[in-house]
Amino acid sequence: MKHILSIIAITFLLTSCGEEKKNSVEKVLEGNNLETIRTKRAELVGQQEALNAKIKLLDERITDLDTTKHIPLITTFTAKQEVFNHMLELQGNVTTKKLIVITPEYNGILINIYVKEGQKVSKGQILAKIDDGGLGQQLSQLQIQADLAKTTFDRQSRLWEQKIGSEIQYLQAKSSYEGQTQAVNQLKQQLAKTTVRAPFSGTIDDIITEQGSVVGAGQTPLIRIVNLDNMYIETEVPERYVSNVVAGKNVQVEFSVLGKTIDTKVRQASDFINPANRTFKVEIDIPNKEKTIKPNLTAKLKINDYTNENALLIPQSIISENADGEQYVYVVNNKNKNEEGVAKRIIIKTGKTQGDVIEVLEGVENGAEIINEGARSVKDGQTVKVLTYETENNG
């Protein structure tokens, strides 16, 4: 409006004296007198300066009378205490302690495989057989000798009880029997190594070595077996969170490839800090009743490392910083019935952030009316008008 009134004033003044100036200037120009032309020009310049001074006075009065046109329009929200759960975001991989590749304990030819891929097996079940290289025959011979030694010892023992025979005969029989028995047991243990058994109940995931292949003890991978019941996620956490990320903390696990989110807890936090990368390991329980979660699956983790039951949260976008590095926001005070109030700058101290919001530790009181939209365009002590009043901060 100030500029419109200025234009009207100028138009009015120019119109009122337009004809006179026109005629006067025409007459001067028709005379072709240089001095007269210069004099006329100086006269017009003086009139223009006087006119500008009058316009300036009009603008100043308009500014004084029309103050409502200078009030910034803003929106606000009320600072409200709420529970703030800060979440540490990491990535981890699914694993299980029951996932192994079985290798043989005996050198020889893999003569039999008794299971198929995908087959469920129980702990101790026979999976494969390796040629024993004649150990079975040796065991049979040793067993015959052990049986004879037992018979001899039993007879000598009865005689010794009847005080018949010498003590040395009794001890020799006993020693022979115990030696043969030990030899049989050792050979049985050796022979047992030719039989491959399931170390735990699970599913045969892969038959790696074909029947008829020569295998080496502790070297040749035979069968991969996995159990999906006791699954967990392992991740590495920076050492600065060592006192906040502990057993029992809530965790939200997201499997993006499965479109699945699970709420669980930290089951174990390591006490060892890896000196190479300054992290410690954390294990997180994963329920897997549907058997859809597989080993080595990548997961996004949100671990609750901090909770404030009475936090004041504000949008990060409304925070400004002064030359001293202090953060500040604006609140509205002394608001009248016309929703007009005074903007006041408040220095604040902030804490943790989560998404678009940040925790205010100092400076803002519960129930304060904080400027949201327009926060970066107002000044301290400026009159503002609230257009929309939001009862709470939605972040």
Q: Is 146 helix (H, G, I), strand (E, B) or coil?
A: helix
Distances in Å between the Cα of 57 and the Cα atoms of 12, 48, 51, 64, 66 are: 16, 14, 10, 11, 14
What per-residue confidence (pLDDT) applies to 42? 85
What per-residue confidence (pLDDT) applies to 68? 54
Mean residue pLDDT of the chain comes to: 85
pTM above 0.75, yes or no: no
Digitized pLDDT (tens) for each residue of the chain, 395 residues in all: 445 445 444 554 445 545 454 447 787 777 778 888 888 888 888 888 888 888 888 877 776 666 555 688 889 999 999 999 999 999 999 999 889 999 999 899 999 999 999 999 999 999 999 998 887 788 888 888 888 888 887 877 887 777 777 778 878 888 888 888 888 888 888 888 889 999 999 999 999 999 999 999 989 999 999 998 889 999 999 999 999 999 999 999 999 999 999 999 999 999 999 999 999 999 999 988 888 899 999 999 999 999 999 999 999 999 999 999 999 999 999 888 888 889 999 999 999 998 899 999 999 999 999 999 988 888 998 888 888 645 445 44
Q: Which helix (H) or strand (E) holds 355?
A: none
Q: How many CB atoms lie within 10 A of CB 246?
A: 13
What per-residue confidence (pLDDT) applies to 20? 52
Q: What's the token pair of residue 345? A: 């700058």
What whole-number distance in Å separates Cα of residue 231 and Cα of residue 295? 8
What per-residue confidence (pLDDT) applies to 66? 62
How many CA atoms lie less than 13 Å away from 285 in the CB half-sphere? 12
What whole-number distance in Å separates Cα of residue 175 and Cα of residue 168? 10
